[in-house]
Structure 1
Amino acid sequence: MSRLRQTNVMILFMLAYLLSYIDRQILSLLIGPIQADLHLGDTQFACLNGLAFSLLYAVLGFPLASLSDRKPRPPIIVAGVILWSLATMACGLCNSFWSLFLCRVLVGLGEAALAPAVYSFLADIVPKERLAGTLSVFFLGSFLGSGCAFLFGGSLLGVAQQYNVTSLHAWQVCFLVVGLPGLVLGAVIAATVREPARRRVAGPHVPAAQAIAFFRQHKEFFSLHMLGYTLLAVTLFSLFSWMPAQMMRIHHMTHAQLGLTLGSIVIVCGSAGVFASGWLIDYLTRRGLVCAPQIVAATAAFLASVPLVISVLTHDSHLAVISFAVAFFFASFPMPPSATVLQIVVPVPMRARFSATMLFCNAIGGLSGGSLLIGALNDKVFHSPAAIGLSMALVAGTASVLGGIMLLLCMRSYKVLYDNRMSNQHDMPVATPTMVEQPA
C-alpha cells in the first residue's frame, strides 16, 4: 500500500476514533441537565458514564478481536461505527436511567469493534519503526473528539435550549445531533477502505488456549504492562469524566465557558502530548533504546501527578485551568506506547486478542472502576458533590504514580520478550494468494 493510501486510511480511522469520543464524552458535559431531569446521583451518573459503556465494550472486545485476527477488518470497523452512531442517537429518545443505560451499553458494543481491528490493520501497513508515530495520529482522534464534545457541546446545548421546538429535552437533542455524522463516515469507510493485499500471517488460526499459554509464558511482563496502563487509564478517564463536574461545581463555570476551556485544553494539550509521546518513542527506538515506551510513559505519569492534584484541589480558577492543562498534556502520553508495545512483541495471529485484553482492562478498571470509585466517594464517603476534587485527587493522583511504577518494573521482562521476538520472527509479511491489491 502506498504512503498516500496509508495516510488516507489513517485519517479515516482517526476520524472514526474522533466521532467515537464525541459520542462517548458528550455525556460528561451534559451531567447537570441529565441529573436534574432524571434525578440521578453521582454514583448513578458514573454507572452511565463508565459501567454501562464498558460492559459490552470490554467483554465483546475478545470475540471481535478474534474475528479481526481471521477476517477482513474494514467491514468490522464499519459495522461498529454505524452501531455506536445509532445507539448514540437512541440516547436522545431515552427518558429514564435504565433506557439510557441500555443505549450506553450499545454505544460501548459498537466502539469495541474499532480499536483492535485498527491496531492490527495499521500494524500490517506500517513498519514498526513508524508504528508509534502512526498510532499517535490515530489516538489524536480521542483528544480531538473529546475536545469537540466539550468545545461545541456547550454551544449545542445552548442552541437546543433556546430554539428547541420538539417535546424532547435539550440534552436529548444533543445526542440526536452528535450521532448522525457517524452514519456518514461509516458509509465512506465502507466505500473506500479495503483489506491490504499483503497481510501479515503466521500459519493457521491460533486457538485461545495457545494465546493464554503465551500470556502465561510471559506473565510477569503482561501483568505489569496491563496493570500499569490500567492505572494510567484511571487517571486519564477520571479527567475526561469528572473534570466538567469539578469545574461547574467548584469554579461555577457555565456550559459555554466550560466547553471553551476544557475543549481547548483537551484538543491542544492532549494532541500535543500524544504526538510528543509517539515522536519520543520512535526517536529513542531508532537510537537503540528498547525500553523507550516504558520510560516515556512512566516519566509522563510521574510528571502528571502533581499538577493533577493541584488542579482539582485549588479554589483558584486560573491555577486550576493551568494545572489541568499541564496534567492533561502528560496524562495523554501513555496512549501510543500502550498499543505499540503489544503490536511489536505479540505474535501476529494473537495481536488483536491481546489488544482486546488491554482494552478490557482499561475499560473495566480505568473507565468504569475509576469513575465509579470517584462517584461512590462523593456519595458514600464525603456525602457532598463539592468533595469531587478530593475524590479525584485520591483516585487519579494515586493511580498515576502507581501506574508509572508498574511500567518501570516491567522493563526487564519486556526486554527479554522483545529480544526473543526479534530473534524468532515467524510472522513476516507474505502475500495472501486469495487477495488482490485494491485501492484504500
Structure 2
Amino acid sequence: MSRLLQMNAIILFMLAYLLSYVDRQILSLLIDPIQMDLHLGDTQFAYLNGLAFSLLYAVLGFPLASMSDRNPRPPIIVAGVILWSLATMACGLCNGFWSLFICRVLVGLGEAALAPAVYSFLGDIVPKEKLAGTLAVFFLGSFLGSGCAFLFGGSLLSIAEHYNTTAFHAWQVCFLVVGFPGLILGVIIAITVHEPAKRRVTGPHVPVRQAIAFFRHHKTFFCLHMLSYTLLAITLFSLFSWMPAQMMRIHHMTHVELGLVLGSIVIICGAAGVFASGFCIDYLTRRGVICASQIVAATGAFLASGPLVFSVMTSDRHLAVPLFALAFFFASFPMPPSATVLQIVVPVPMRARFSATMLFCNAIGGLSGGSILIGMLNDKVFQSPLAIGTSMAIVAGTASVLGGVLLLLSMASYRSVYAAQLHQILAHDTAVRHSDMEEQAA
C-alpha cells in the first residue's frame, strides 16, 4: 500500500472513530431534556448511556473480530459505520425508555465492528516502531468526536429549541442531525479504502482453542493488562458520561456554555494527551525501554487522579474547569498503549480477537459498570442528584489509582510474553531465510 493510500485510510478511520464518539456521547449532553421528557432517574439514564450501548458492543466484538482475522476488513468497517449512523437517527424517533434502549443497543452493535477491524488493518500497514503514534491519530477521533458532541451539541440543542416547528422534541432533532454524516462517510470508505495486497497473516486460520491456550499460557500478564485498562476506562468514561451533569447541576452551566467549555477541553486536552502518550511510548521504545507502554499509561493514571477528585468536589467553577482540563489530559494517556501492547505481543492471526476481548472488558466494566455505579450511588446511597461529584470522585478517582498500580505490577509478566513473542518471530525469520537460501541453491 502506497504512503498516500495509507494516510487516506488512517484519516478516514479516524473520522469514523470521531463520528462514532459524536453519536455515542451526544446522549450525555442531552441528559436534562431526555430525563425531563421521559421521566428517567440517574440509574435509568446510566443504563441508556452505558449498558444499552455496551451490551452488543461488547459481546459481538468477538465474532466480528474473528471475521476481521479472516476476511477483508473495509466492508466490515463500512457496514458498522452505516448501521450505527442509522441507529443514531432512529434514536430521534423514540418516545420511551425501551425504544431508546433498543436503538442504543444497535448503535453499540455498529460501533463494535470498527475498532477490532481497524486495529488489525493498521497492524498490517504500519511498522511496529510507528504503531503507537499511528494509533494515537486514530484515537484522536474519540476526543474530537466527544468534543464536537459537546461543542456543537449544545448549540444544536439551543437552535432546535428555538426554531423547531416539527412534532419532535429538540433532543430528538439532535439525534437525527448527528447521525446523518456517518452515512456519507461510510460510502467514502467503501469507495476509497481497500484490503492490503499482502496481509501479515500467514498459515491457516487459528482456532479459538489455540487463542485461549495462548491467553492461559500468559494469563498473569493478560489478566493484569485487561483489568488495569478496564479500571482506567472507568475513569475516562466517567468523565465523558457524567461531567456534563456535574457542570450543569453544580455550576449551573447552560447547554451552550457547557458545550463550549467541555468541548474545548475534550478536544484540546484529550488530543494533546493522546499525542503526548504516543510520542513518549515511541520515544522510549526506540531507546530500548520494553515496558514503555506500561510506564507512560501508569504515569498518566496517577497524575489524573488528584486533579480529577478536586475538580468534581469543588464548588468553585473557576477552579473546577482548569482542574478538569488537567485531569482529562492525563486520563487520555492510557488509550494508545492499551491497543499498542496487544498488537505487539499477540500473534498476528489472534490480534483482532484479543482486541475484542480488551474492548469487551472496557465496555462492560469501564463504560457500563462505571456509569451505572455512579448513577446508583446518586439514586440509592446519596439519594440526591447534587451528589454527582462525590459519586464521581469515589468511582473514577479510585479506579485511576488502582489501574496505575496494576499496570506497574504487569511489567514483569509483560517482559516475559514480549521475550517469548520476539523469540518466535526471530525463529520464524531464520526459518524463512534458510528456506530462501535452499531454494536459491537448488
TM-score normalised over the length of structure 2: 0.96
Q: Which residue of 2 aligns with 1:438?
A: none
Q: Which residue of 2 aligns with 1:433?
A: none
Q: Which residue of 2 aligns with 1:111?
A: 111
Q: Which residue of 1 aligns with 2:292?
A: 292
> What are the equivalent positions in structure 2 for 1:388-407 lying under 5 Å apart?
388-407=388-407
Amino acid at match of 1:421: Q
Amino acid at match of 2:11: I
How far, CA to CA, are the matches of 2:419 and 2:83 in structure 1?
A: 41
Q: Which residue of 1 aligns with 2:201?
A: 201
How far, CA to CA, are the matches of 1:4 and 1:181 in structure 2?
A: 24
Amino acid at match of 1:300: G
- Secondary structure at the counterpart of residue 198 of structure 1: coil
Amino acid at match of 1:355: S
Q: Which residue of 2 aligns with 1:266?
A: 266
How far, CA to CA, are the matches of 1:99 and 1:382 in structure 2?
A: 29
- Secondary structure at the counterpart of residue 188 of structure 1: helix
| CA positional deviation for 1:427 | 7.6
Q: Which residue of 1 aligns with 2:164?
A: 164
Q: Which residue of 2 aligns with 1:231?
A: 231
Q: In the TM superposition, what whole-angstrom CA distance separates every residue of 1:232-285 from its partner, at most 9, and x where no partner exists?
A: 000000000000000000000000000000000000000000000000000000
1:139 and 1:274 in contact (8 A); partners too: yes
How far, CA to CA, are the matches of 1:385 and 1:200 in structure 2?
A: 52
Q: Which residue of 2 aligns with 1:343?
A: 343
Amino acid at match of 2:47: C
| CA positional deviation for 1:201 | 1.3
How far, CA to CA, are the matches of 2:355 and 2:225 in structure 1?
A: 12
How far, CA to CA, are the matches of 1:394 and 1:2 in structure 2?
A: 49
TM-score normalised over the length of structure 1: 0.97
Q: In the TM superposition, what whole-angstrom CA distance separates every residue of 1:35-65 from its partner, at most 9, and x where no partner exists?
A: 0000000000000000000000000000000
Q: Which residue of 2 aligns with 1:79?
A: 79
How far, CA to CA, are the matches of 1:385 and 1:139 in structure 2?
A: 32
Amino acid at match of 1:65: A
1:277 and 1:333 in contact (8 A); partners too: yes
Query: How many residues in Structure 1 have an aligned counterpart in Structure 2?
Result: 429
Q: Which residue of 2 aligns with 1:130?
A: 130
| CA positional deviation for 1:287 | 0.4
Q: Which residue of 2 aligns with 1:324?
A: 324
Q: Which residue of 2 aligns with 1:55?
A: 55
> What are the equivalent positions in structure 2 for 1:368-383 lying under 5 Å apart?
368-383=368-383
How far, CA to CA, are the matches of 1:2 and 1:321 in structure 2?
A: 44
How far, CA to CA, are the matches of 1:353 and 1:85 in structure 2?
A: 24
- Secondary structure at the counterpart of residue 205 of structure 1: coil
How far, CA to CA, are the matches of 2:199 and 2:280 in structure 1?
A: 28
- Secondary structure at the counterpart of residue 289 of structure 2: coil
Q: Which residue of 2 aligns with 1:254?
A: 254
Q: In the TM superposition, what whole-angstrom CA distance separates every residue of 1:370-396 from its partner, at most 9, and x where no partner exists?
A: 000000000000000000000000000
Q: Which residue of 1 aligns with 2:143?
A: 143
> What are the equivalent positions in structure 2 for 1:12-27 lying under 5 Å apart?
12-27=12-27
| CA positional deviation for 1:3 | 1.8
Q: In the TM superposition, what whole-angstrom CA distance separates every residue of 1:5-62 from its partner, at most 9, and x where no partner exists?
A: 2111100000000000000000000000000000000000000000000000000000
Q: In the TM superposition, what whole-angstrom CA distance separates every residue of 1:65-111 from its partner, at most 9, and x where no partner exists?
A: 00000000000000000000000000000000000000000000000
How far, CA to CA, are the matches of 2:428 and 2:290 in structure 1?
A: 20
1:348 and 1:427 in contact (8 A); partners too: no
| CA positional deviation for 1:422 | 1.1
Amino acid at match of 1:150: F
How far, CA to CA, are the matches of 2:46 and 2:417 in structure 1?
A: 38
How far, CA to CA, are the matches of 2:347 and 2:281 in structure 1?
A: 21
Residues 1:72 and 1:106: Cα distance change in structure 2 (over 3 Å): same
Q: Which residue of 2 aligns with 1:421?
A: 421
| CA positional deviation for 1:165 | 1.3
1:305 and 1:401 in contact (8 A); partners too: yes
1:132 and 1:336 in contact (8 A); partners too: yes
1:202 and 1:427 in contact (8 A); partners too: no
| CA positional deviation for 1:202 | 2.5
Amino acid at match of 1:39: H
- Secondary structure at the counterpart of residue 199 of structure 1: coil
Residues 1:142 and 1:427: Cα distance change in structure 2 (over 3 Å): farther
How far, CA to CA, are the matches of 1:313 and 1:283 in structure 2?
A: 36
| CA positional deviation for 1:420 | 1.1
How far, CA to CA, are the matches of 1:148 and 1:75 in structure 2?
A: 26
Q: In the TM superposition, what whole-angstrom CA distance separates every residue of 1:200-258 from its partner, at most 9, and x where no partner exists?
A: 11311111111001000000000000000000000000000000000000000000000
How far, CA to CA, are the matches of 2:332 and 2:3 in structure 1?
A: 27
Amino acid at match of 1:331: A
How far, CA to CA, are the matches of 2:61 and 2:76 in structure 1?
A: 12
How far, CA to CA, are the matches of 2:309 and 2:140 in structure 1?
A: 25
How far, CA to CA, are the matches of 2:204 and 2:34 in structure 1?
A: 50
Q: In the TM superposition, what whole-angstrom CA distance separates every residue of 1:331-367 from its partner, at most 9, and x where no partner exists?
A: 0000000000000000011000000000000000000
Q: Which residue of 1 aligns with 2:440?
A: none
How far, CA to CA, are the matches of 2:317 and 2:238 in structure 1?
A: 19
1:200 and 1:427 in contact (8 A); partners too: no
Q: Which residue of 2 aligns with 1:283?
A: 283
| CA positional deviation for 1:150 | 0.1
How far, CA to CA, are the matches of 2:166 and 2:199 in structure 1?
A: 50
Residues 1:427 and 1:94: Cα distance change in structure 2 (over 3 Å): farther
How far, CA to CA, are the matches of 1:279 and 1:220 in structure 2?
A: 28
Q: Which residue of 2 aligns with 1:435?
A: none
